[in-house]
Amino acid sequence: MSAVSTDAPTASAESRKHRLIPTVRRLGWGVADQGISSLSNFAIGLFVARSFGASSFGAFTLAFITYTVVINASRGLATDPLLVRYSGRAGRRWRSATSAATGSALVVGVTVGVLCVLAGLFLPDPMGPVFIALGIGLPGLALQDSWRFAFFAAGRGSAAFINDLFWTVLLFGALLILHGVADTPAHALLAFGATATLASLLGMAQARTVPRPLRGLEWFRTHRELSVRYLIENISTSGASQLRAFVVGAVAGLAAVGYVRASEILMGPFFVVLMGISQVAVPEASRVFHRDSRHLARFCFVLGGVQAAAAVAWGLLLLTVFPFGPGPALLKELWMPTAQLIPPITLTVAAASFVTAAIAGLRAMGLARRSLRAQLTSAALYVIGGSIGAVLAGAVGTSWGVTIAEFLAVLVWWHQLRLALANHHSVPEVSR
């Protein structure tokens, strides 16, 4: 009897260890892939900001935000359902689903790409050429992104990392060639799309399957109940960001759009940390919730507090160290107007840290309806605050307007989390 009681905990510990190691490995690949993906976005943004001035950078920013909206829409329609229903080992079932999902992503890229090219033909310089360049590259950009998530669905995070690393190396090489040669940001966007297209071809070889666009409608019909919800969730935030950017451009000029984007680029290293932690936060919050739901709110608050403290520390570094060399070296003539946006962007990211923590808590509880309600409210606050601020005080006003909106969003998200926990705790009492 004693032998059994001694061996059982040992076996249980060994079993937990064997489950933990693959989980940590997958999470590690996720954080690494997010880092390399953010690096490529940071590189092209910095290249355009340094090379073409505030107005051209503003036009590039409007096109780049459009790209993020399209990618988020593609994920909602194509790869998010793939992650939910086909996660596991790569096999015949995964290949069949992946060919349909990546085909759907390609359809989204081609459709919106054509619209961007048509819009670019009627837009004035410098916006017209950048939207034409974006439209040409969108099919490859959407397809490359879909391979990343397909590999994560199959538990092949290393394949996603290799694909993104391949794309980033190609992009850096292209930007080096363009340095001193390119005369518009459209050339940088063409390089962005072309290198992504090459990486998407590598994705086909890695997956040993090809996208099938003709199965796109079938994929949507089969996963409609997931796709519609994920589409709304994914584009609410990025769509709000795009709408705010267009309002800023209309009332304060393209240069103001460029200054706001430059401030976000300065926070780029912290965004990598924030997004990397967010990939780990939901499963960790889920463990806390199922172990003892009374501790979930405290876990989320500590998680948000640690991230917010790191954001403030990075912002202080930008304010105290960067003015003495790194800032002007990175942004050149954009540095001085961008520097005054560092305090609001720092506080915005600090508030966003508490938002992402509350999101992790709600998703750990599986309450998609509450999270969707909070996300739509937050997106509306973002657009309203950013737009009113732009009308009142240009780039500075829109930055502080978004800061206020983000702090209000913290209240919205945490109210939903508190209500969800209160309802959860009341159920056992009623049943008794």
Residue with tokens 């946006």: 341
Which one, of 61, 233, 211, lies nearest residue 146 by Cα? 211
CA distance 144 to 133: 17
Q: Phi and psi of 154, rounded to 5°? A: -85, 0
Helix, strand, coil shares of the chain as percentages rounded to 5? 90, 0, 10
Which one, of 126, 389, 391, lies nearest residue 251 by Cα? 391
Helix axes 2-74 and 185-207, enclosed angle (nearest 10): 140
pLDDT reported for residue 276? 62
Q: What is the pLDDT of residues 199-237, one digit of tens each?
A: 999 999 998 899 999 888 888 888 887 778 778 877 887
The total number of residues shown for the chain amounts to: 432
CA distance 332 to 269: 19
The two three-digit tokens of residue 409, written as one number:
């969003």
- Which residue positions in the chain have pLDDT lower than 50? 1-6, 8, 10-11, 13, 15-20, 429-432
What Å distances lie between residue 343 and 1, 31, 260, 319, CA to CA? Answer: 65, 27, 12, 8
The residues, any chain, with a CB within 8 Å of residue 249's CB and separated by 6 or more, are 58, 62, 256, 257
The predicted model scores a pTM of 0.78
Please tell me whether the peptide bond between 126 and the residue prior to it is cis, using omega within 30 degrees of 0.
yes
Check: CB of residue 336 under 8 Å from CB of residue 394. no
pLDDT reported for residue 25? 57
CA distance 140 to 223: 23
Which one, of 77, 317, 318, lies nearest residue 217 by Cα? 77
The two three-digit tokens of residue 238, written as one number:
């990025």
| Beta-sheet strands, E only, within 91-189 | none
Which one, of 184, 191, 85, 69, lies nearest residue 140 by Cα? 191
How big is the CA angle at 58 (ends 56 and 62), to the nearest 5 degrees? Answer: 120
The two three-digit tokens of residue 115, written as one number:
């619209």
Q: What is the pLDDT of residues 144-200, one digit of tens each?
A: 999 988 888 777 778 888 999 999 999 999 999 988 777 788 999 999 999 999 999
pLDDT reported for residue 108? 94
